[in-house]
Structure 1
């Protein structure tokens, strides 16, 4: 599996695990379900895209991962604001999310350049 070698996938998995741990005592099950689904979706979309047969599909799933990351960031901010997520843990998750987003952006750029070269 190619995705297991990607640093961005490894970091997304760790972030997802951290979100699960940080929210395991949250009694607002709707919130907890939504934030853990968003976090899980980031790494899952990276993995699914890497296993697709075309660069176009791969890129599409990387964009989906970025979208899930934006959802996650929104939920972290709200979770901190309402007291579901400890401020320090939330700030760490925000920094990590932004770094993962930057890694995804770079990976998308590389894949788009590969796609352009193959279409010439």
Structure 2
């Protein structure tokens, strides 16, 4: 069965969950620029999936999935930094890093699957 809407994509659902977690964990962080950047990057993952899904072509969708992938990598990089800055404890950050790795694999798989169709 073909996916009819972006909400059905597991990678979109997982990236939404990641964004909610990031928002909750960093809501009281006093470093406004760090907090703002990681939140914006986290939200960008699912938003680019959604925006790309409703584009005219698989090539456009693929391009937006690459944007999602880049935002996901940005979040992962900032999570490593959050350990070094003592914004998160290592165990908490590692779990989130594992989530970003899973999202990355899913995005790569989706890109590969739609590239075979164009």
TM-score (norm 1): 0.93
Q: Secondary structure at the match of 1:46?
A: helix
Structure 1 residue ranges without an equivalent (≥5): 116-120
Q: For 1:10-89, what aligned pairs fall within 5 Å after superposition? A: 10-89=13-92
Cα-to-partner distance string for 1:18-66 (whole Å, 9 max, x where unaligned): 0011111100000000000010000100111101111111000000000
1-side partners of 2:51 and 2:83: how far apart?
30
2-side partners of 1:83 and 1:54: how far apart?
43
How far apart are 1:85 and its partner, in Å?
1.7
1-side partners of 2:28 and 2:94: how far apart?
19
1-side partners of 2:19 and 2:88: how far apart?
14
Give the aligned length. Answer: 115
Q: For residue 8 of structure 2, what is the aligned residue in structure 1?
A: 5
Q: Secondary structure at the match of 1:64?
A: helix
Structure 2 residue ranges without an equivalent (≥5): none
